[in-house]
Structure 1
Amino acid sequence: MTSRRPLFLVAGAAALAGSALIPIAPLALRDRLPDPLATHWSGAGVPDGHSSFTAWTLVCAATWLVFCACAVAVGLSGWGRRRVRGMAGATLGFGAGVTAAMIAGTLRANLDRDSYRQAADLGPGVILVAIGGAAVIGLIGWLVGSTGADQVDRPPGEAPRLREGVREGQRPVWIGYVRSRWAFLAGGLLAVAGAIGALLVVLLPEPLTPGWPLAGPLLGLSAVGLVGLTLSSAQVTVDARGLAVAFGPLGRPVRRIPLESVSTAWAEQRRPAQVGGWGYRISGQGTTVMLRKGECLVVQYGAGDDRFAVSVDDAERGAALLNSLRERETAA
């Protein structure tokens, strides 16, 4: 049975971190805010609802905790499936965006006002930025949550090995998966933090932040995080077409080696120091996708006997299938 412990750890950490961060900006600006605060506006842009500072802060925290609870509820429906993890991540990301926009927008409208009745109109532009920003952060959350393969409960005992060649008419497929945990965490954190930071600096009033001039670098930081997230994982597939290595939660980009180009394949142990470090490396041993040290699937291909390797579990079975498929094609 798939463990749900990661779900509770992620949701619990998000709930605690968010609850700790939510009061920071409001408390720092409390002396410049009216009490009660304007917390609701009519369609005409006139403040028509208010709350005390304490009640409003608690509502913001409660809103975030509700999104965390919703993410847990989504995750419980099948945490082992990528689709479910992606939906849970999207829920957390969208909730973070909504909560950040709620705080920043309310502070923006109430700052340096003598009464909540004098609160500024948020305007359609601010609302569109808030909704769009929350949607983008939700998309990043979906990408982060979708990283990883579907987790399948396997029966106990030794996994079956390829003992015979591939017969005509058979269409066997071998799929392996590898992920760099540190690259995944660093990329995901940079992507989410950069996007939330950009949303905050745009929505907060100008005396507090420079707005768009700072939003640009933060969005760039988020983009760097997304690139790191994409290159932090790979799905390796061996089938009748050859070898395919698809990167990231979207399965793009893809490195392919056609079956007719393959000379031979084997499994060997490699370390980052042997190939020049982590990531996509080119060295005297050819090209290596090094996301974790240890067992690698190595393919020799092309007229010049080029070599391509990717670190992945159960590489021996992948190499065996690739060789068998190549033998069948050669014999045909």
Structure 2
Amino acid sequence: MRDEEPAGEPAPVEQVRRGALWGAVVWTLGVAALLVAMPMSARDRLPDRVATHWSGSRPDGSMPLATAALFPAAIWLLVAVALAVALRFRTGQARGLAGPVLAATGVLLSGAQASIVRANLDRARWLDAAPMGFEVVLIIVAAGLAGALAWLATRRPTTTGTGTGTGMGTGLVIGSTAPAARPGAPVLEPRAGERLVWLSQASNHWMQTLSSVLGLLSVPGVMLAASGRTGSVDWRAVTCFGLGAVVTLLCSSVRVRVTEAGLHVGFGPFGWPARRLAPAELVSARVERLTARQAGGWGYRVHRGGSIVFLRRGECLVVRTVRGRDFAVSVDDAERGAALLNALIARTAGTSTR
């Protein structure tokens, strides 16, 4: 049994963390700007002091308009700084919490600010502000959902094998690698009773940042609607930015797994949607080095010979299906993934001929 792991931190993990960092920075600055912009953009329709606290259905606390705009933004930035400090000095403990806390707190504060603006909109005095009701429950539920989704998106993928051993990480192969049968088509020869697993992942932090930017561009429209200023909302732009953010996010990262069930490629932070190809559906696997020009661009690309998920130049795992089409994905340690797939294809072909 050979359990190889590259010295130092694998390149795919560095890419994922870099993308997460850029996404967190864009999210932090965007939410801060939104918290200030929502009340200030509606200042001509708000009283000089706005209601900021309710006891039951009646407002019982207020702040000057400028303070009401800056106070939640200051709280938000303090949360972000505290998380940054925790990540600096308590990396292992804080890493799993940073994404969920940023997502939940950002949604909670933005929702609360939108509700405050809506309650005070077109009121002569803060005492006349509309009561708070079911929207409070919706904001709390939305914040909890955002935190849960962020946790699912940022958790580390793991796998466990049984038989000859167990493994977890990027580029793990349990078995032994034999010389390639031909250039570009590596082959692995497993011993009897061995269970084989290979994992890898890749991401493009520029695409993740673009997704964050597009998502933030759609948020002001949603917040304006939530604050009662529906006349200022261009829903076509909100829809385009929102869909663009989702599509870009799904195309910005992949999680690739090769097991006895075949090839599994999960898209986006949740690994869904996914493409699965069983060994019986494949003819061969190989490794190619491609550039963006050769791939036809970044992200998910479709061409006459098949399709490719291209996130960074360099090694790509390429499989040929029984339909004569190629499917490629740019991912590190592609040679071992191709070797394992070729072994599985050979094993499946040998079983079917008996």
Aligned length: 316
1:310 is aligned to 329
Residues 273/5 of structure 1: CA separation in 2 closer, same or farther (3 Å cut): closer
Q: Deviations over 1:241-276 (max 9, x none)?
A: 222212122222222221133332211112333343
Residues 324/169 of structure 1: CA separation in 2 closer, same or farther (3 Å cut): same
SS at match of 2:114: helix
Q: Where do 1:152-231 residues align within 5 Å?
A: 162-163=177-178, 165-194=189-218, 196-206=219-229, 209-210=230-231, 214=234, 218-219=238-239, 221-231=241-251
Match of 2:102 among 66, 86, 92: 92
Alignment of 1:104 with 2:114, yes or no, is yes
Q: Where do 1:15-30 residues align within 5 Å?
A: 15-30=28-43
1:56 is aligned to 68
**Mapped contact 2:23–2:212 kept (Cα < 8 A):** no
**Mapped contact 2:40–2:69 kept (Cα < 8 A):** no
Residues 74/130 of structure 1: CA separation in 2 closer, same or farther (3 Å cut): same
Residues 170/220 of structure 1: CA separation in 2 closer, same or farther (3 Å cut): same
SS at match of 2:69: helix
CA shift, 1:223, in A, is: 3.6
Q: Deviations over 1:9-61 (max 9, x none)?
A: 76566555544553334344445543443211121x21112233454334312
Match of 1:113 among 119, 123, 127: 123
2:59 is aligned to 47
**Mapped contact 1:71–1:89 kept (Cα < 8 A):** no
Q: What's the Cα RMSD here? A: 3.7
Letter in 2 for 1:22: L
**Mapped contact 1:40–1:49 kept (Cα < 8 A):** yes
- Distance in 1, matches of 2:324 and 2:23, equals 45
**Mapped contact 1:11–1:68 kept (Cα < 8 A):** no
- Distance in 2, matches of 1:119 and 1:52, equals 14
Answer with 14-23 or 239-248: which moved more. Answer: 14-23
Higher relative contact order (CA 8 A, sep 6+): 2
Unmatched 5+ stretches in structure 2: 1-7, 159-167, 179-187
Letter in 2 for 1:245: V
Letter in 2 for 1:202: A
Unmatched 5+ stretches in structure 1: 155-159
- Distance in 2, matches of 1:224 and 1:5, equals 21
**Mapped contact 2:107–2:146 kept (Cα < 8 A):** yes
SS at match of 2:245: helix
Match of 1:296 among 306, 309, 316: 316
Identity across the alignment (%): 34
SS at match of 2:231: coil
Residues 56/241 of structure 1: CA separation in 2 closer, same or farther (3 Å cut): same
1:327 is aligned to 346
- Distance in 2, matches of 1:232 and 1:100, equals 26
Letter in 2 for 1:42: S
Letter in 1 for 2:80: C
1:259 is aligned to 279
Letter in 2 for 1:162: T
- Distance in 2, matches of 1:68 and 1:98, equals 14
Residues 127/318 of structure 1: CA separation in 2 closer, same or farther (3 Å cut): same
Letter in 1 for 2:74: A
2:47 is aligned to 34
- Distance in 1, matches of 2:19 and 2:329, equals 26
CA shift, 1:64, in A, is: 1.2
Residues 292/88 of structure 1: CA separation in 2 closer, same or farther (3 Å cut): same
- Distance in 2, matches of 1:306 and 1:28, equals 54
SS at match of 1:297: strand
